[in-house]
Amino acid sequence: MYIENAHRIRVKNVNKFKHETKTRPAVLIARFYSCCTCRELLNAKYLLYDMAETHPYSQVLITEDHSRHNEFLFFYARAKLPRNERHHIYSKNGRVYYYVEHNQRILLTKSADLDVILAEHPKQNVFSGDGAELV
């Protein structure tokens, strides 16, 4: 077995009125025995999106766990970019990155890093160590 520990988070009713029955989707948190297994699962999650909509696993969403700061940074960065460029923001091992070009990415550590990126041309790298790190 590859899963070390797993548990559900209690589902709460998100509606204000008692007669509505809409609830949040069930959440399952899992910890794996090895990082390799976790990486394999996260790298293969795109296969779920390619399934037919009638398949029971087609609505499963797999995400990586982030700290509150990195979660905010991830969604802040994606909200600042136009819809067709949001794929440039991604996370790996709990860190948030901005994809510049092949084999170049910038580690985002604070929201000001993204503001610097957006102030300059998106495909240029003009960073000098104040939080943004070229990886």
For the CA atoms of the chain, what is the radius of gyration? Answer: 18
Residue 73 and residue 128 in one domain? yes
Torsion of CA 79, 44, 47, 67, to 10 degrees: -30
Residue 35 and residue 84 in one domain? no
Q: Is residue 60 part of a domain?
A: no
pLDDT in tens, 110-126: 888 888 877 774 543 33
- Asked if the model's pLDDT at residue 83 lies above 80, the reply is yes
Residue type, 71: E
CA distance 87 to 119: 19
Q: Is residue 55 part of a domain?
A: no
Tokens 């709990």 sit on residue = 94
State the DSSP code for 105.
E
pLDDT in tens, 1-32: 588 888 887 766 656 566 555 556 677 888 88
CA distance 106 to 90: 10
pTM of the prediction?
Answer: 0.60
Range of the domain at 123: 68-134
Residue 74 and residue 107 in one domain? yes
pLDDT in tens, 29-69: 888 888 888 888 888 887 877 877 788 777 777 778 788 89
Residue 38 and residue 79 in one domain? no
Residue 73 and residue 112 in one domain? yes
CB 91 within 8 Å of CB 82: no
Residue 73 and residue 127 in one domain? yes
Q: Is residue 44 part of a domain?
A: yes
